[in-house]
Structure 1
Amino acid sequence: MPDPAVTLEDVTLSLRGNAGMVEILHGISLTVARGETIGLIGPSGSGKSSLLMVMGGLEHATSGRVGVLGQDLTDMDEDALARFRRDHMGVVFQSFNLIPTMTALENVATPLELAGHKDAFDLAQAELDSVGLGHRSDHYPAQMSGGEQQRVALARASAPRPDILLADEPTGNLDGKNGDAIMDMLFGLRDRHGATLVLVTHSNSLAQRCDRVVRLTDGRVDAAKARDAE
């Protein structure tokens, strides 16, 4: 059996707020198999996005163990975590997080350049073509619609062929039509590249497209169930 993509063992997360320390995650234990698609659902404030950030090493767990692709993220410093994400992860945010002073092509090429790909711009152009934006490669984020910006963000996340894709409400800022198109592209990228996908969503219909649904309530896993194969 290969190592799982993600293993969380009794993970807690506490962050300092205006009123002092706030406990966000409480003893989360969860395993995600390689190639599996997980839908994280639950009400606002339940800890879904925080759990995703812990999986990606974007937040340090307060206690417990976070294992990703056989590596212990809890022992890594910020530089090591950044290199690990660069080499193994793609992250898609609700707010796109594109660099406004860079064109679509430059936004997609940047992580490829950082990873040492000499043909970064050729790969970036091919990825933009795959999400239907090859003709917009020289446009800046401000010149594109929200749906187009999210497609650029998807291309940027998938271009390095990550082992794991983490998506935090990727359709949250989009209308229904654009949201559906983005999700079709995201699942298409997963299918083509065989990546493990962890998706945070408020939409039960989107979650049901995943292999398994994990519900969070008040920072705890409320229920985890596998969707029956059709």
Structure 2
Amino acid sequence: MTSVLSLKDVRLALESNAGLVEILHGITLDVAAGETLGLIGPSGSGKSSLLMLMGGLERASSGTITALDQDLTHMNEDGLARFRRENMGVVFQSFHLIPTMTALENVATPLELAGHADAFDRAAEELEAVGLGHRADHYPSQMSGGEQQRVALARAAAPRPKLLLADEPTGNLDGANGEAIMDLLFGLRDRHGATLVLVTHSRALAARCDRVIRLRDGRVDTAQEAAK
């Protein structure tokens, strides 16, 4: 299958008060078009850092990252922002909604930035798809955590991204809301044909992925890698 995301010997080291801290050590992996990849491992193993590198939200210290045949490693910040806007949807554990905007405005914003004339119509369609059409005019403070995460999913999916990245999308939710978000996440993937990479501690969510990679101490734990 065609690889849409490729990492070659990727390393990440960040400065701290204690000096240089090695976060990731020579990560090499490929993600196929249409695949769902789960990244699991203990806290501090580098899962979220790896996802941020895949999304161009953090820069690798060395190695190369290619997404959709574009070398993210050498793109400037404007180029990375434009690439994400046109090709990626990102869902965070803490929602990151704009508090002064309604649900509809939050979902429409990336579409407006991308120049879509039908931004609000598409935003309304995505809110309906996640069961929140009736909450379009509500602000984040007026919604539950589960509802806010649904809005975040709608916002990520609205531009029809080729790559969908999710960092602990059920981490702040109770069991029932977490299950609903899982169903919506995979439903959006199927509806738009996106490749999905997600970080999770949830065994139930990992079990639904095509392939699971475990990280330990900033390295791929090959002894624990599993394919379904």
1:104 aligns with 2:97: no
Question: Percent of aligned pairs with the same residue?
Answer: 77
CA-to-partner distance for each residue in 1:97-121, whole Å, 9 max, x for gaps?
Answer: 0000100000000000011100100
Separation in structure 1 between the aligned mates of residue 204 and residue 120 of structure 2, nearest angstrom: 36
1:19 aligns with 2:18: yes
Pairs aligned (count): 226
Separation in structure 2 between the aligned mates of residue 15 and residue 102 of structure 1, nearest angstrom: 34
Question: SS of the counterpart of 1:5?
Answer: strand
Separation in structure 2 between the aligned mates of residue 214 and residue 204 of structure 1, nearest angstrom: 13
Map 1:69-80; keep pairs closer than 5 Å: 69-80=68-79
CA RMSD of superposed structures (Å): 0.7
Deviation at 1:55, TM superposition (A): 0.2
Question: SS of the counterpart of 1:111?
Answer: helix
Unaligned runs of 5+ in 1: none
Map 1:103-142; keep pairs closer than 5 Å: 103-142=102-141
Question: SS of the counterpart of 2:24?
Answer: strand
Separation in structure 1 between the aligned mates of residue 16 and residue 144 of structure 2, nearest angstrom: 34
Quote the residue 2:64 is aligned against.
65
Separation in structure 1 between the aligned mates of residue 4 and residue 46 of structure 2, nearest angstrom: 20
Question: SS of the counterpart of 1:25?
Answer: strand
With the length of structure 1 as denominator, give the TM-score of the two structures.
0.97
Separation in structure 1 between the aligned mates of residue 220 and residue 68 of structure 2, nearest angstrom: 22
AA partner of residue 33 (structure 1): A
Unaligned runs of 5+ in 2: none
Structure 1 outlier segments of 4+, above 4 Å: none
Quote the residue 2:180 is aligned against.
181
Deviation at 1:225, TM superposition (A): 2.1
1:35 aligns with 2:39: no
Deviation at 1:21, TM superposition (A): 1.2
Deviation at 1:204, TM superposition (A): 1.9
AA partner of residue 122 (structure 2): L
CA-to-partner distance for each residue in 1:73-131, whole Å, 9 max, x for gaps?
Answer: 00101110000000000000000000001000000000000111001000000100110
Deviates most, 17-26 or 58-67: 17-26
Separation in structure 1 between the aligned mates of residue 11 and residue 38 of structure 2, nearest angstrom: 20
